Structures are given as C-alpha cells and as structure tokens.
Amino acid sequence: MAFSGTYELQSKDNYEAFMKAIGVPDDVIQQTKDLKTITEIVQTGNHFVITMTTGPSVLRNEFTIGKEVEMDSLTGKVKTVVNIVDGKMVAQLNEVQSVSEVSGDLLISILTYKGIAYKTVGKRLP
C-alpha cells in the first residue's frame, strides 16, 4: 500500500471525547478542536517519515515497519512497533491503538482508547 503524500484534514469524529479520555485538559481541547492538520507521509519501502503540522505544533516520527521505535504521541513518548496488517498501518501506543489506511485519495486514521474511537479523514493534496 502506498501511503506517500500530503493530506489535509477534512473531518474528525469524536475529537473532544477522545482527548478528554486520554487526559488532555479542557482548555487545550477547546483551543485545538478547530485547527486543521496537514500530514506529510514519505514512504521509502518499509521506512516511513510522518510529519503532522497542527497550527504551530509539529509532530514528526520516523520508523521502519516491524522494528521497535520510540515515537512522540499525543500523551508523550512511547515505544512501539508499527506493522502493516491487511494494507493498514497498525501500532499500539501504550493504551491507544492507531490504525491508518489510504483509500483512494483519502488518509483514514482511527485512534481507539478504552472503546472511544477518534476518526480523522484527510484528503491528498495535489
């Protein structure tokens, strides 16, 4: 599956409930809920560099499929292994499961924490 591309956030579902569940303060949730995220994915074989820019915040992670790596996450640094399962990028970030896939020109990501799912859909930019 080819993930490479730059994607602009089009929609997000269940943002506030998810952020509250993982411990993000209410004032931060309110400040960030309407910000657009640009996600850039550079895939070279099994090696990925993912850069997410939300307002002034930039989150960058680099990893190789199947190898343990320390990543920055919404709740701090976590060690994980990213795998490809049925064409989807899957990782366990402590108690948060992350599943991302490309469908046509859309990047669909779902973060799940204790049964609360936060879904984002980004559209590939030309």
For the stretch 29-68, pLDDT in tens is 998 889 999 999 999 999 999 999 988 889 999 999 999 9
Return the pLDDT at 32: 87
* Phi-psi group of 105: left, alpha or beta (phi > 0 → left; psi -120 to 50 → alpha; rest → beta): alpha
78-106 pLDDT, tens digit per residue, is 999 999 999 999 999 999 999 999 999 99
- pTM of the predicted structure, to 2 decimals: 0.92
22 or 55: which leads in pLDDT: 22
* β-pair type (68-73, 57-64): unpaired
